[in-house]
Amino acid sequence: MSLLVAENLGKRYLSAGRRVEALCDVSLSLAAGETLGLAGASGSGKSTLARVLTRLTPADGGRVQFAGEDWLALSGSALRKRRGRMQMVFQDIAGAFNPRATVASALDDPLRIHAVVPKAERAREIAALLDRVGVPAAYAGRPIASLSGGQRQRVAIARAIATRPALIVLDEAVSALDVSVRERILELLVALQQERDIAYLFVSHDLSVLRALSHRIAIMEAGRIVEAGPAAQVIADPRSPAARALVRAVPHLSPQKEPIDGR
Q: Which region, judged by CB under 8 A, interacts with other proteins, from 62-70, 74-82, 116-124, 130-138?
A: 74-82
Q: What is the DSSP letter of 32?
A: T
Q: How far is CA 103 from the centre of its chain?
A: 21
Among 71, 216, 218, 220, binds other proteins (CB under 8 A): 216
User: Can you tell me the distance from the alpha carbon of 254 to that of 248, in angstroms, rounded to the nearest whole number?
Assistant: 14
125 binds other proteins (CB under 8 A): no
> Using the rule CB under 8 A, which residue among 58, 95, 118, 141 binds other proteins?
95
Binding segment toward other proteins, per CB under 8 A, in 3-11, 38-46, 63-71, 125-133: 38-46
Closest to other proteins by CB, 23 vs 246, is 246
If the CB atoms of residues 8 and 79 are measured against other proteins, the closer one turns out to be 79
Which element (helix H / strand E) includes 63?
strand 61-66
**Residues 127 to 146: which contact other proteins by CB under 8 A?**
none
- 80 contributes a contact to other proteins by CB under 8 A: yes
The residue from 24, 74, 101, 123 that contacts other proteins (CB under 8 A) is 101
219, 228 contact by CB (below 8 A):
yes
Look at residues 215, 237, 164 and name the one whose alpha carbon lies nearest to residue 28: 215
If one asks whether residue 19 binds other proteins (CB under 8 A), the answer comes out as no
Pick from 15, 120, 138, 141 the residue near other proteins by CB under 8 A. 15
Cα–Cα distance list, 213 to 168, 208, 226 (Å): 14, 9, 21
Residue number, 74 or 123, with CB nearest to other proteins = 74
Instruction: Based on the shown chain and the rule CB under 8 A, indicate whether residue 151 belongs to the binding site for other proteins.
Output: no
Task: State how beta strands 86-89 and 2-15 pair.
Answer: unpaired
**Bridge partner list, 200:** 35, 168
Stretch that binds other proteins, among 14-22, 62-70, 116-124, 126-134 (CB under 8 A): 14-22
Q: Please give the C-alpha separations between residue 65 and each of 10, 33, 75, in angstroms, as whole numbers.
A: 15, 16, 14
Of 12, 63, 196, 215, which one interacts with other proteins (CB under 8 A)?
215
- Answer for which of 68, 75, 100, 138 binds other proteins (CB under 8 A) is 100
Q: Does 249 bind other proteins (CB under 8 A)?
A: yes
In 3D, which of 153, 150, 105, 149 has the Cα closest to residue 126? 105
Binding residues for other proteins, total number by CB under 8 A: 85
- Residue with smaller CB distance to other proteins, 8 or 78: 78
Helix spans in the chain (H): 46-53, 76-82, 103-113, 122-133, 149-161, 179-196, 207-213, 231-236, 241-249
**What Å distances lie between residue 75 and 16, 54, 83, 103, 217, CA to CA?**
30, 12, 10, 29, 30
Could you say which of 58, 68, 118, 259 contacts other proteins (CB under 8 A)? 259
Give which of 66, 21, 18, 61 is closest to 44, Cα–Cα: 21
5 in contact with other proteins (CB under 8 A) = no
Which of 5, 32, 123, 222 is in the footprint of other proteins by CB under 8 A?
Answer: 32
